[in-house]
Amino acid sequence: MFHRLLVPVDFSICSKNSLKLAVDFAAKNRATLTVLNVYSVTRVQTSSEALIKDDLINNLKGYDEEIPGLKSIDHTFEVEFGLEADIIIDRSAEHDLIVMGTRGEHNVIDKLVGSVSLRVIEHSKIPVLVIPEHLHQISFEKLVFAADFKRIEHMSSLDNLRELALTYDSELHLLNVNESPEYITNEEGDEAMELHYFFKDVNHAFFLSESKDIKQGIVDYTNE
């Protein structure tokens, strides 16, 4: 499960909100937090790295007073210099989950996540929990797993999803978005059965949604 959380922050309202939700998640799962600020190497530096780092660490420590419950969570504040996405991806090797906020519109996935979040999602070896800026409470009552019913080589890659669903007693929706949802091949049916057996101890069901645009179909389904 998730015992070591990496939470990148840039002192924006968006990232502060994601840290609040990460604290709630950590409390529920008895996890530790690494609160990370990445100082971009593209900025013009008028002070030494040591002075900049001290200032940023002091700013991060202010979250101890601002974020309810943070003091009761085992956490560290860290500052690194470099390109934000690259540093986050590199540090992810020491953690089980990345929790990060994002700004932007929410009508399609491309606009749902910013460029840094998208790069992290594409290259991270661990799960990434992206918090939309308007979200102030996490609920895992219903989870959607979008599946194309093609063979999954390593079912163990879904262990975290299964554990998350069990921890929160979630209702898991196994969603297939297809232009012709009434037609499922034998191979796709076999893969659906394998998913059914893998999630046998999770409250789950299969759902088919008709759409030519898979990304938009997923977003439409979650909105419904």
pLDDT of residue 67: 93
Q: Which tens digit of pLDDT belongs to each residue from 59-104? A: 999 999 999 999 999 999 999 999 899 999 999 999 999 999 886 5
What domains does the chain contain, in order, with CATH numbers? 4-132 (3.40.50.620), 142-223 (3.40.50.620)
Task: Please tell me the distance from the alpha carbon of residue 36 to that of residue 24, in angstroms, as a whole number.
Answer: 17
Count other Cβ atoms within 10 Å, centred on residue 210. Answer: 11
Which pLDDT belongs to residue 171? 96
What does the pLDDT read at residue 155? 86
Task: Return the pLDDT at 170.
Answer: 95
Separation between Cα atoms, residue 211 and residue 214, nearest integer Å? 6
Indicate the residue type of 178: N
| pLDDT reported for residue 181 | 66
pLDDT at residue 198, rounded to an integer: 95
- pLDDT given at position 42: 63
How are strands ordered across the β-sheet holding 171-178? 142-146, 171-178, 203-210
Interacting residues of 139 by C-beta distance below 8 A, sequence separation 6+: none
CA atoms of 210 and 212, how far apart (whole Å): 7
Task: State residue 110's pLDDT score.
Answer: 47
Q: pLDDT below 70 — which residues of the chain?
A: 41-47, 103-114, 181
Cβ-based neighbour number of residue 36 at 10 Å? 23
Of 106, 103, 72, 119, the C-alpha closest to 10 is 103
- Would you state the pLDDT for residue 69? 94
Count of Cβ atoms closer than 10 Å to residue 85 Cβ: 20
